[in-house]
Structure 1
Amino acid sequence: MTYTPSIDLDAIDAIDMHVHIESDGHGHTSLDDELMDASAAYFRPSDNRTPTVADIAARYRERRMAAVIFTVDAATATGHPSLSSEQIATEAAAHSDVVIPFGSVDPHRGKDAIDQARRLVEDYGVRGFKFHPSLQAFEPNEPSFYPLWEQLESLGVPALFHTGQNGIGAGLPGGRGIKLRYSNPILLDDVAADFPALTVILAHPSVPWQGEAISMATHKANVYIDLSGWSPTYFPAELVKAAGSFLRSKVLFGSDYPLIAPERWISDFEKLGIKPEVMPKVLKDNAIGVLNLR
């Protein structure tokens, strides 16, 4: 079944741009047990750690929200088989009123990744792609990966990249070999410059490189910031200022659910003193444009 969005935009109040599928429902998880446990210790989530697509759909429907859902294919770097983006998209098709599937491909797979990306869009209807440079162990501005970005640009779908601090591997010896430098957002400045028709979304407050992310989103029309992965209570002051003023059209609500509950995120964001007229843009309207939902 091919996913086609059927979201009634008048029936929802927010679009969460960052929701993880961590299990296929049959016992296989997106990360091995050690990394899953380290991530849980870092975030201390209170909800079900491995909700299914149907669980997420029910939860967000009840709260008048839609959710962008995805996994991360990091099989080459981690040796752990990935969840199926094809399965996620197929399951999302049954809940197209509230969920929006993104795909994920392993950049190290070269032409196979490029071909899979095309199939995920054309045959399964995914609306974008998620990448995690640190977990997938690659530098996104390395020229060998440029054919993949060219493919996504030609398909007309956004690319969402993890940036900044990383909870996966946190507290483990050597961070389990996961290197933070791959997630410096400035590496994506080359990608955004060289592929101006590709929408590049910088996921999370990019601590400790927040200034770079703000500069990129200010400078390039095709760069956005999703605000997931941190409670807004802990946002850097420069990000709060930017989100409420000159970047009000370039920032996107995201929770990182199931690690952070979306309603908690919104409650904390409302306490930052952001002007009331900015809230609908951050929570919903900017995402509508990025996802081409109108």
Structure 2
Amino acid sequence: MPIDPSKILAIDVHVHAEVSCHDPEDPVMAKFFDAASTYFKADRKRPTIPETIAYYRAQNIAFCLFTVDCESGIGAKRISNYEIADIAAEHDDIVIPFASIDPRKGKFGAREARDLVEHHGVRGFKFHGIMQDCHPADRVAYPIYEVIAEHGLPAIFHTGHSGMGTGMKGGGGVRLKYGQPILVDDVAVDFPDMKIILAHPSWPWTDESLSMALHKDNVFMDLSGWSPKYFPKQVIQYANTQLKHKMLFGSDWPLIRPEKWIDAARAAGFREDVLPLIMKDNAAKLLGLG
């Protein structure tokens, strides 16, 4: 049963799957989860994918579900994109499957991307340059982007600071420079048919994301990873005016719960006519849900 936007409260475009239904937690990834739980003051026990689905169903919120493939960047085994696609197909009234493919997999990664889109119902992709240790516009990733653009699908790019690695020795070996939003600008130019979602308020480079969303018709922002009460003032300003059709609700589950984000958003200064656009309408249009 396809998602009916009129029957749901919101669409969360930023939900992580961090526990496989089949495989044990990867020990390399576990160290990053430990640090992130401390940084976000969140429960270390990660919900399973079925638990996540049940939670969002109870909240009546549809959501984009993905893992992060950083096998080359930090050597952590990923959760299979096929696992996520398969369980999403069983709950397609509320779950929108996204995939993540390490950019360094290049043409072989492009083969996987095409198969996921054409045969397994994947509706978008997630990239995390910091954890993947890769410049977003590195040409090694372009074969994957070509598949995404060919099918007119969105791609989420992590931007700004990262809770992953915060507090670890040497930041866990990951480099924050790959989270600078302007690095994605070349991708937006070279792939104008690919909808690009810059994840998070992008601190300390917030103004770069706002500029790109203003300048490029294919660039959007999701507001995940921060409670709205901590948003830089210019995010609220532009969301209420020039970028009201470019802002998307995202929580960053399981580190931030969607209902807490929504409660904070209602008090953050968004205009009454703008909040419904952020919570659901913009994402429904971007994702082709009607």
Q: Say whether 1:132 aligns with 2:128.
A: yes
Alignment partner of 1:256 out of 238, 252, 257? 252
What whole-Å deviation, never above 9, does each CA across 1:42-80 have from its counterpart, x for those lacking one?
11125x742222212211111121011000110011111
Asked whether the 8 Å contact 2:160–2:205 carries over to 1, the reply is: yes
Q: Output the CA distance in 2 between the equivalents of 1:251 and 1:51.
A: 27
Alignment: residue pair count: 289
Alignment partner of 2:267 out of 271, 287, 294? 271
Alignment partner of 2:37 out of 21, 40, 45? 40
Match of 2:94 in 1: 98
Asked whether the 8 Å contact 2:159–2:200 carries over to 1, the reply is: yes
Q: Output the CA distance in 2 between the equivalents of 1:87 and 1:163.
A: 26
Secondary structure of the equivalent of 2:244? coil
Q: Say whether 1:148 aligns with 2:141.
A: no
Q: Give the 5 Å matches for 1:2-151.
A: 6-26=2-22, 28-29=24-25, 32-46=29-43, 49-151=45-147
Q: Output the CA distance in 1 between the equivalents of 2:25 and 2:198.
A: 25
Structure 1 vs Structure 2: percent identity of aligned residues? 47
Shift of 1:26: 4.0
Q: Say whether 1:158 aligns with 2:135.
A: no
Q: Output the CA distance in 2 between the equivalents of 1:212 and 1:9.
A: 31
Alignment partner of 1:174 out of 163, 170, 173? 170
Which runs of structure 1 show a deviation greater than 3 angstroms over 4 or more consecutive aligned residues?
Answer: none
Q: Output the CA distance in 2 between the equivalents of 1:104 and 1:28.
A: 19
Q: Output the CA distance in 2 between the equivalents of 1:275 and 1:65.
A: 21
Asked whether the 8 Å contact 2:197–2:221 carries over to 1, the reply is: yes
Alignment partner of 2:214 out of 218, 229, 241? 218
- Unaligned 5+ residue runs, structure 2? none
Shift of 1:27: 5.1
Report the RMSD for the aligned CA atoms in angstroms: 1.3
Q: Output the CA distance in 2 between the equivalents of 1:140 and 1:49.
A: 31
Q: Output the CA distance in 2 between the equivalents of 1:53 and 1:119.
A: 22
User: Which TM-score applies when normalising by structure 2?
Assistant: 0.96
